[in-house]
């Protein structure tokens, strides 16, 4: 099962980065492969967490697939967890963490593992998905610079 994990120091606050990743409706504007995203349900809990059920359509050349996931936005702990509900995968797991490191810096952790149900789809999309996921963290950092302004000389690096 393909897995991707990264941790990047960015020159934005943990709260800013959490808010950026939590704003799933904007993904089609900047996330690689994301053609569309539709919110099915949004539920706020009394403990500061919010649950979103969303449909995302990813597209590359002639291949277009949609899937549904449950996104748990855990604002008090600055964590986001994505659970796969239905679509072309047999498994999809995604987690984000946001750790404050200085007044204006944080470490953004990104983890993803996935497996397609269809061997043919895995062959068609697998390499392209791997390349896109390698660019995910950078896409969010670039988006943060556009939304919040570029603070400093750039990332301290991938760790």
The partner residues of 10 in beta bridges, in order of sequence, read: 106
22 neighbors 108 (Cβ within 8 angstroms): no
Averages of pLDDT over runs of 10 residues in the chain (159 residues) are 85 96 95 92 95 92 87 98 92 94 92 84 68 76 90 42
What's the confidence (pLDDT) of residue 154? 43
Domain boundaries, the chain: 3-149
Q: What is the Cα gyration radius of the chain?
A: 16
Whole-angstrom distance, CA of residue 94 vs CA of residue 81 = 6
Number of neighbouring beta carbons within 10 Å of residue 84: 16
SS3 86: strand
- The secondary element (H helix, E strand) that includes residue 156 is none
pTM: 0.85
CATH of 3-149, one of 3.40.1440.10, 3.30.530.20, 3.40.50.10800, 3.40.50.300: 3.30.530.20
Two structure tokens written together for 90: 């047999």
> What was the pLDDT predicted at 77?
98
């Amino acid at each position: 099962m393909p897995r991707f994990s990264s941790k990047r120091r960015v020159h934005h606050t943990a709260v800013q980065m959490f808010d950026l990743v939590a704003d799933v409706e904007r993904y089609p504007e900047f996330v690689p492969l994301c053609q569309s995203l539709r919110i099915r349900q949004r539920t706020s809990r009394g403990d500061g967490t919010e649950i979103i059920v969303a449909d995302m359509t990813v597209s590359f050349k002639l291949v277009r697939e949609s899937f549904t996931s449950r996104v748990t936005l855990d604002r008090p702990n600055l964590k986001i967890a994505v659970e796969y509900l239905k679509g072309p995968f047999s498994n999809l797991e995604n987690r984000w963490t946001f750790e404050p490191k200085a007044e204006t810096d944080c470490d953004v952790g990104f983890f993803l593992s996935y497996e397609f149900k269809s061997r043919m789809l895995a062959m068609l999309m697998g390499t392209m998905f791997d390349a896109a996921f390698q660019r995910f963290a950078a896409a969010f950092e670039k988006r943060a610079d556009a939304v919040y302004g570029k603070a400093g000389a750039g990332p301290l690096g991938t760790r």
